[in-house]
Chains A and B, each alone.
Chain A
Amino acid sequence: MFRVYSNTRVIYGLCRALNNQISKRYQSSSSSSTTTTAAANVALEPNVSKMSMFSGHIKGAITNNLEFIRPENITPISMYQVLDSDGSIKEKSHTPDFTDEDLIKMYKDMTLLNVLDRILYESQRQGRISFYMTNFGEEATHIGSAAALNAKDLVYGQYREAGVLMYRGFKLHEFIDQCFGNARSSCKGVQMPVHYGSTDLSFVTISSTLATQMPQAVGSAYAYKRAQNGLCVVCYFGEGAASEGDAHAALNFAATLEVPVIFFCRNNGYAISTTTVDQYRGDGIASRGAGYGMATTRVDGNDLFAVYNATKAARELALNEMRPVLIEAMTLRVGHHSTSDDSSAYRSIDEVRSRDKRDNPSLRVRKYMYNRGCWNEEKEEQWTKDSQKMVMEAFANCEKTKRAPISTMFENIYDKMEPHLQRQMKEMKEHVRQNHDHFPLSLYEQSST
Chain B
Amino acid sequence: MNLPIHRLITTVSTCSSFFLRRRLAHFTFFKDKPDPSHGPTKEMNLCQTIQNALGITLGNDHTAIIFGEDVAFGGVFRCTADLRSKYGADRVFNTPLCEQGIVAFGIGAAVAGTTAIAEIQFADYIFPAYDQIVNEAAKYRYRSQNLFNCGRLTIRAPWGAVGHGALYHSQSPEAQFLHTPGIKVVIPRSAIQAKGLLLSCIKDDNPCIFFEPKILYRSAKEDVPLKEYTIPLSKAEIISEGSDVTLVSWGTQVHVIREVAQMAAKDNISCEVIDLRTILPWDIDTICQSVSKTGRLLISHEAPITGGVGAEIAATVSKECFLNLEAPIERVCGYDIHPIPHVFEPFYFPSKWRCLEVLKRMLNF
CA distance A240 to B122 in the complex (A): 31
| Residue among B93, B101, B112, B142 making CB contact with A413, cutoff 8 Å | B142
**Per-residue CB proximity of A246-261 to B under 8 Å, as 1/0?**
1011101100110000
A147 at the interface (CB under 8 A from B): no
A205 B111 Cβ-Cβ under 8 A: no
Which A residues touch B143, using CB under 8 A? 187, 190-191, 195, 205, 207
Residue of A nearest to B183 (CB): A414
* Most B Cβ at <10 Å: residue of A17, A207, A209, A226: A226
Interface with B: A36-44, A210-218, A430-438, which one? A210-218
User: Which of B109, B166, B206 counts the most A-chain CB atoms under 10 A from its CB?
Assistant: B109
A-B contact count (CB 8 A): 170
**Complex Cα–Cα for A227 and B109 (A):** 11
Contacts of B151 on A, CB cut-off 8 Å?
415
Q: Does residue A197 face the partner (Cβ distance < 8 Å to B)? A: yes
Query: In the bound complex, what is the Cα–Cα distance between A9 and B184 (angstroms)?
Result: 33
Contact B76 A9 (CB under 8 A): yes
- The reply to whether B111 and A197 form a contact with Cβ atoms under 8 Å apart is no
Bound Cα distance A154, B95 (Å): 22
> In whole angstroms, how far apart are the Cα atoms of A226 and B143 in the complex?
28
B254 interface hit (Cβ, 8 Å)? no
* Contacting pair A187 B93 (CB below 8 A): no
- Chain B CB within 8 A of A230 CB: no
Q: A188-B145, A197-B147, A413-B142 are in contact. Are A216 and B284 (CB under 8 A)?
A: no
Pairwise interchain contact A412-B146, C-beta atoms closer than 8 A:
yes
Task: Find A418's partner among B96, B162, B281 (CB 8 Å cutoff).
Answer: B281
* Chain A residues in 8 Å Cβ range of B76: 6-7, 9-10
- Asked whether A219 is an interface residue with its Cβ less than 8 Å from the other chain, the reply is yes
Q: A182 interface residue, CB < 8 Å from B?
A: no
User: In the bound complex, do residue A249 and residue B142 qualify as a contact, i.e. CB atoms below 8 Å apart?
Assistant: no
Q: Which of B129-137, B240-248, B256-264 contacts A (4 or more CB under 8 A)?
A: B129-137
Chain A residues in 8 Å Cβ range of B100: 215, 245-246, 249
Docked-complex contact A226 and B90, CB < 8 angstroms = yes
Please give me the residue from chain B that is nearest to A2 by CB atom: B169
- Given A212-B104, A250-B101, are A420 and B144 also a contact pair (CB < 8 Å)? no
Q: Which residues of B contact A222 (CB under 8 A)?
A: 65, 105, 108-109, 114
Q: Which size class do B's interface residues fall under? A: 35 or more
A3 at the interface (CB under 8 A from B): yes
- Asked if A205 meets B144 with Cβ closer than 8 Å, knowing A10-B76, A413-B181, the reply is yes
Would you call B182 and A218 a contact (CB within 8 A)? no
Given contact pairs A212-B132, A252-B96, A414-B206, A219 touches B104 in the complex (Cβ within 8 A): yes
Within 8 A of B (CB), among A185-211: 186-188, 190-191, 195, 197-199, 204-205, 207, 209
A384 to B146 alpha-carbon distance, docked (Å): 37
B206 close to A216 (CB less than 8 A): no
> Could you tell me if A10 and B141 are in contact, using CB atoms closer than 8 angstroms?
no
**Shortest beta-carbon distance from A207 to chain B in Å:** 6
Q: A316 vs B206: C-alpha distance in the bound complex, in angstroms? A: 35
Determine whether the beta carbon of B104 is less than 8 Å from that of A216.
yes
Which of A187, A217, A219 contacts B144 (CB under 8 A)?
A187
Can you give 7 contacting A-B residue pairs, CB < 8 Å?
A10-B76, A197-B147, A199-B147, A219-B104, A220-B108, A223-B114, A413-B141
Instruction: In the A-B complex, list the 8 residue pairs whose CB atoms are closest, starting with the nearest.
Output: A219-B108, A249-B101, A216-B108, A215-B104, A223-B112, A205-B144, A219-B109, A220-B112
Residues of B within 8 A of A (CB): 63, 65, 70, 73-74, 76, 90, 93, 95-96, 98, 100-101, 104-114, 116, 122, 128, 131-132, 135-136, 139, 141-149, 151, 162, 164-166, 168-169, 181-182, 184, 205-206, 234, 281, 284-285, 342
Residues of A within 8 A of B (CB): 1-3, 6-7, 9-10, 13-14, 17, 154, 156, 186-188, 190-191, 195, 197-199, 204-205, 207, 209, 212, 214-224, 226-227, 245-246, 248-250, 252-253, 256-257, 408, 411-415, 418-420
